[in-house]
Structure 1
Amino acid sequence: MTTTRPAGPAAGPREVVGAGEAACHHGEILQGVFLDERRRPCHALVTLPMHGPGAHAAFLRRSDDGPDAVTVTPPGRAKARAAALLAVRACAAHRGVEPCGGELRLSGDLPVGLGMGSSTSDVIATVRAVADSYRLRLAPQTIARLAVRAEGACDPLMLGPGPLLFAQRQGRVLEALGTALPPALVVGCTLGGGAPVDTLSLSARTDDDREPARYERLRRMLRTAVADADPALLGRVSTASARLGQRVLHHPEFETLTAIADRTGATGVQIAHSGNVAGLLFDPRAPGLHRRVRHCLRALDGDGMTPTVNFSTGTNSGTTTGATPPDRRGDHRPHHRPGPHLPERGPLPWTSTSPRPSADRT
């Protein structure tokens, strides 16, 4: 349940409105096959959280409608509708009443298909809105279970920004790695011209006998990076994970991206494992940071990898890669330069960061 209620349909005498929202992320720091508490191979991931806009949902529950009579605006959000149907039944059972349908309205400016958790954000916001209409606040673990049932796998957006090794197909945490990721400035960009990725078309990962051993090593490295607040080790982990992910993703820009990271002194790169969003990680304490980021932005632009956002891990203020921060008194949408295939759902969000270095600083 949330305190911010997006605009939604007015409720009649036999109608109740609920609202919910959910954040997004910027792809993964680490994703692969790990060993669970019983030493069984398990697919899991660690996302790179972002503060900023995600999905908003309003659910108008109508007691006269049957439990399957749920409409969704905008149309085509099948996963969100599935989540609404599941949440209606779960909440009604908790209240001891008959389930009923209603109208779900989704809004937000998170692009689809770039690997930023857009579908999970929709699903979580939907579940929270349905629960709010029943005047319930569901536990994050309950929301995770409903999300997995609705979309087959989900990101850990319902569990907060702390770094978690999360089994996305089971909706459970394998390990809480700490309270926050190491400090890093992330310079975001899009690959593939910003075109969305059909995650169902991605080939399955190669799960040979060596796979868990490789990823368990990266897990230990990430655990140390978090404990020591070490941005250099964080970059090594994310780059290694992204390189292993190339066996499935085959981004033609990958070597160029890593070369830019090397030339500009970034600690590493991170790439969404189910989309075209990527980022270069910088140590915010490194000397010449403004100059490094400026050169990085120019290099990305020159090689056709459109810069999108820059943000810092573990903070709450945000801006875009524009030369100056947005006016916080007015429009908070980014003045970005979208790729030719940026989805119509909306612009990339500006997120948590200190102001981007302007182009005339060294």
Structure 2
Amino acid sequence: MNQTAQASNDHFDAALLAELRLLTGVSPRPNWPDLLGGQGEAPGHFGELYQGAMVSPSASEADHALARKYPRLAAHIAWQDETEPLPWNATRTLLDLSCAPLRTRAGVCIHTREDGDVTANADADKCIRVVKLVLAMAGLQGKRAHVLLQSNIPPAKGCGSSSADVTAVWQAIFRALGVSPTDEALSLLLVFSERASNPVHLRQPCLFAQRRGRILRPLGAAWPAFHVLGFDPGGTVRTEDLPPLRYTANELRQHCVFIEALSRAIAQGDAATVARIAATVARADDRLPHDHSQLASQVKAFRAGGYAVSHSGVVAALLWPRTAEAMRDRKRAMHELRSTGTPFWAWST
């Protein structure tokens, strides 16, 4: 579906635009070329290896530092998380299970001398809004632009289709304008655009505050070495309709244990322990109807190390520490899924 929006009807707060220019390096110029274009790309994910909450004094300090430097931006992002505060000022966080076969590619074309609309080849309100905002930052508000999206990420499944679309468009328009914001800046922009966002732009494992747009803890240089089999048992979930997870003080204590164990396992390259932690955390989150008994049976039948689920969707994935024997076990699991007509994706981290 082609979607058109009237760029000339959008008005952006001048103070917010000034902060975003400082954050990104985008600024008005008197001599933009007649035609600007750029491309971006972002992977999907297949749920989370971890989703929970982290108690960190440094997180509050980072909030205050952001508010001092970018008060308008900070107020908007902080508002997203204030409706469901956690005990001890804990911060919601996650670690994605990145999925290489799933990907969004975006192209942005800007006609700097032509007034007109911002259009897209898909139903892409958030992406159009991103382009309008950056055009205003560049002094090109009201100019004609087009967004082209190509994606194989299934929507409403918990695979990060919206996060990947928006990430790819941010990257494309920044490249069109010749700027390269940092990963930290893009993290903030994604949450600004999406309310809650998966960190599909990050290449190394980290605990990411999906409602604050910040890396809470880097987890090393490399992902755990897995053979993965992700599958879609059916159904859909509208992520934006889900309330933020709430945690009691006792649950936060348990998540502190999870996080420390997860950090050690990733640092040591212990994929088997990471897989077990992912399954344990998945069972603790009961707001979605994942069949944990069936998943546990599949782990046993196919000798997997554990499983991960989408905490905001329907997909799940079996995880094997990467060995030749695990490849054979994964092939057996693929054969069973194929025989039942269940869509699946296989990849290795």
Superposition TM-score, scaled by structure 1 size: 0.73
Counterpart position of 2:288: 249
State how far apart, in whole Å, the 1-side matches of 2:44 and 2:131 are: 19
Question: Deviation of residue 107 (structure 1)?
Answer: 1.2
Q: Secondary structure at the match of 1:50?
A: strand
Counterpart position of 1:322: none
**2:118 equivalent to 1:70:** yes
Question: Deviation of residue 269 (structure 1)?
Answer: 0.6
Work out the number of aligned pairs and report it.
287
**2:132 equivalent to 1:82:** no
8 Å CA contact 2:39–2:173 kept in 1: the answer is yes
**Alignment gaps of 5+ in structure 2:** 1-32, 61-87
State how far apart, in whole Å, the 1-side matches of 2:268 and 2:341 are: 32
Counterpart position of 1:225: 265
Question: Deviation of residue 301 (structure 1)?
Answer: 5.2
User: Would the alpha carbon gap of residues 22 and 223 (structure 1) be closer, same or farther in structure 2, given more than 3 Å must change?
Assistant: same
8 Å CA contact 2:43–2:200 kept in 1: the answer is yes
State how far apart, in whole Å, the 2-side matches of 1:133 and 1:301 are: 42
State how far apart, in whole Å, the 1-side matches of 2:321 and 2:293 are: 21
**Which amino acid in the other structure matches residue 308 of structure 1?**
F
**Alignment gaps of 5+ in structure 1:** 1-12, 314-362
8 Å CA contact 2:337–2:344 kept in 1: the answer is no
Q: Secondary structure at the match of 1:63?
A: strand
User: Would the alpha carbon gap of residues 69 and 298 (structure 1) be closer, same or farther in structure 2, given more than 3 Å must change?
Assistant: same
Question: Deviation of residue 65 (structure 1)?
Answer: 5.1
Counterpart position of 1:121: 164
For residue 23 of structure 1, the aligned residue among 43, 47, 70 is 43
The percent of aligned pairs where both chains have the same amino acid is 28
**Which amino acid in the other structure matches residue 273 of structure 1?**
H
State how far apart, in whole Å, the 1-side matches of 2:328 and 2:99 are: 24
8 Å CA contact 2:304–2:326 kept in 1: the answer is no
Counterpart position of 1:306: 342
**Which amino acid in the other structure matches residue 309 of structure 1?**
W
State how far apart, in whole Å, the 2-side matches of 1:229 and 1:46 are: 16
Counterpart position of 1:318: none
Q: Secondary structure at the match of 1:270?
A: strand
Counterpart position of 1:355: none
Counterpart position of 1:32: 52
Counterpart position of 2:333: 296
**2:311 equivalent to 1:268:** no
Q: Secondary structure at the match of 2:237?
A: coil
Q: Secondary structure at the match of 1:132?
A: helix
Counterpart position of 1:148: 191
Counterpart position of 2:173: 130
State how far apart, in whole Å, the 2-side matches of 1:263 and 1:250 are: 22
Question: Deviation of residue 53 (structure 1)?
Answer: 4.9
Question: Deviation of residue 190 (structure 1)?
Answer: 1.0
Question: Deviation of residue 64 (structure 1)?
Answer: 4.0
Q: Secondary structure at the match of 2:222?
A: coil
State how far apart, in whole Å, the 2-side matches of 1:261 and 1:42 are: 31
Q: Secondary structure at the match of 2:201?
A: helix
Counterpart position of 1:61: 110
Q: Which has the higher contact order (CA 8 A, sep 6+)?
A: 2
State how far apart, in whole Å, the 1-side matches of 2:255 and 2:38 are: 41
Cα deviations by residue, 1:114-142 (Å, 9 ceiling, x for unpaired): 21211111111111111122122222222
